[in-house]
Structure 1
Amino acid sequence: MMAESRSHEPVSDRAYLLTALPVDTTQVVIVTSDDWHTSHATLETLVRTGGRWERVSELPARIGRDGFSDQHVEGVPTTPTGVFAFGPTMYGISPDPGVRYPYHRVVPDDWWNAAPESPAYNTFQHTDRNPGGESEALWREAPAYTHLAVITYNMPPTVPAPVPYAGSGIFLHEYSRPGGNVTAGCMSLAHEDLVGVLCWLDPAASPRIVLAPRQRLGCG
């Protein structure tokens, strides 16, 4: 179950200080840090009921080694700022933990293409050949990819098509080591916290994820 530190506590609409959310969005995940350059972050889940946002949970998280960036590029360990959707499919090395999204259990030769000059850049591929660059063999990334959600950074619907070298493979996934560790640009949580968030997310709620340091959101 997802930890509930301050369940259903009313909060200010900080997400709107970064950009407006779609009118049909009733779930939002906000990942913030105390400054631009730390990898330590907090992940909050919020639900909109009766015209206002209420906090469901607040969880410790980790982000990219070099913190947040407005200009994330391939190979630089920063987490991109912005407001993004969740990809239409969740993935994982382990069986579906009960998510509401379509779930693909990864198998050998399942890759995330991180080759900037490839026509399939920043997409899932099943292929017996490494796509090149820093492409990830998803089935080998245990425990990080036990379960994961794709963040639509540099991919539709955020952009019409991935921009070469603008960055790829931004996921919400599990800590690679107990107690947490820096990432290459993704967001990571402890196993139970991650499963709770992934199972809470509902595609019918048009959920969004907001990524930014607290200063950007007007709360620090």
Structure 2
Amino acid sequence: METTPVAGGPVGTTTGRAKPIPPPNRASRLTTLPAATTQVVVVTGDGYSTTYATLETFHKVGGHWVAVSAPLPARIGAKGFSDNHLEGVATTPTGVYSFGPTMYGIGANPGVRYPYHQVVKDDWWNENPNSPAYNTFQHTATNPGGYSEALWTETPAYTHFAVITYNMPPNVATPVPGAGSGIFLHEYSTSGGNATAGCVSMSHANLVSVLTWLDPARSPRIVISPVQNLGRY
């Protein structure tokens, strides 16, 4: 928790003695986050080919990034990370992204701070590059085609999930056909965890802790990268 400065003391102190600067961490290596961002999720793995990742959460206190959670295990795409993700290829796109304005899930709202939509029958994520609604949520009785996902059938993976704004606003003005779609932060699809089709997945308990921590008022971002390349972001 940030403290109120006292007369004669440095900003962020209560006794006139400067707080120690936190040791460097993965968030403190980031240089491209917006000034308004005070929460960040960092997903890293050892090299491009791994399907195993570590997810860490940080918040900004007194101008410095401080770890919120211990490193949490996660899985990524079956073909690892990619700087040039394509539709239908099981890689997880690298980069810095926002979270979509709505969180979703087959289950009831676990207490997230975002607007929440409980998924029902005929809720789809449109993953058809030839559709004008490519890479968006749709409620329709007709399959949008392509790789589109019937969200209500994806249990337990979509019990709860957040949308990572890869190939969608605000990262791009309009989704680029074929550049990839439906990149989510979601629950493991099996009890032990397995590689994904491109999303980031984690255990139910850890996912809920992250989703309920995220606060849209703090402009959170998620950074996805092999650990060796984290400095580029």
Is the shorter-chain TM-score for this pair beyond 0.5, marking a shared fold?
A: yes
C-alpha separation in 2, matches of 1:110 and 1:48: 36
Which whole-Å deviations, capped at 9, do the CAs of 1:137-196 have from their partners, x for residues lacking one?
A: 000000000000000000000000000000000000000001210000000010000000
The residue that corresponds to 1:204 in the other structure is: 217
Q: CA deviation at 1:12?
A: 2.7
RMSD: 1.6
Cα displacement (A) at 1:40? 0.3
State whether structure 2 residue 51 is matched by structure 1 residue 39.
Answer: yes
Instruction: State the match for 1:162 in structure 2.
Output: 175
Residue equivalent to 1:3: none
Aligned to 1:127: 140
Partner of 2:7: none
- TM-score, normalized by length of structure 1? 0.93
Give, as a single letter, the amino acid of the residue that structure 1 aligns with 2:43.
Answer: V
1:127–1:200 CA distance, 2 compared to 1 (3 A): same
Contact 2:28 2:64 in 1 (8 A): no
For residue 174 of structure 1, the aligned residue among 180, 184, 187 is 187
Instruction: Quickly say closer, same or farther: Cα 1:11–1:191, change in 2 above 3 A.
Output: farther
Structure possessing the higher relative contact order (Cα contacts under 8 Å, 6 or more residues apart): 1
Q: Is the 8 A contact 1:15 1:21 kept in 2?
A: no
2:221 pairs with 1:193: no
**In 1: Cα distance, 2:68 partner to 2:29 partner:** 20
Do structure 1's residue 76 and structure 2's residue 89 form an aligned pair? yes
User: For the residues of structure 2 that align with 1:122 and 1:154, how far apart are their CA atoms?
Assistant: 8
Partner of 1:55: 67
The percent of aligned pairs where both chains have the same amino acid is 70
**Paired residue secondary structure (2:98):** strand
Number of residue equivalences: 211
* Cα deviation digits, residues 52-108 of structure 1 (max 9, x gap): 000111200000011100000000000000000000000000000000000000000
Question: Letter of the aligned partner of 1:29 in structure 2?
Answer: V
The whole-number CA distance in structure 1 between the counterparts of 2:130 and 2:213 is 36
Structure number with greater Rg is: 2
Q: Quick one: which amino acid aligns to residue 41 of structure 1?
A: A
CA contact (8 A) 1:35 1:213 kept: yes
Corresponding letter in the other structure for 1:26? T
> How far 1:15 moved relative to its partner?
4.5
1:7-156 matched pairs, under 5 angstroms:
10-12=22-24, 14-15=26-27, 19-57=31-69, 58-156=71-169
- Separation (CA, whole Å) in 1 of partners of 2:89 and 2:205: 28
* Unaligned 5+ runs, structure 2: 1-20
CA contact (8 A) 1:150 1:171 kept: yes
Secondary structure at 1:212 match in 2: strand
Unaligned stretches of 5+ in structure 1? 1-8
User: Structure 1 residues 11 and 43, CA, compared in 2 at 3 Å: closer, same or farther?
Assistant: farther
Measured in 1, the distance between the counterparts of 2:23 and 2:154 equals 36
Q: Distance in 1 between matches of 2:224 and 2:23?
A: 17
Which whole-Å CA distance do the structure 1 matches of 2:229 and 2:61 have between them? Answer: 25
Q: Distance in 1 between matches of 2:23 and 2:157?
A: 31
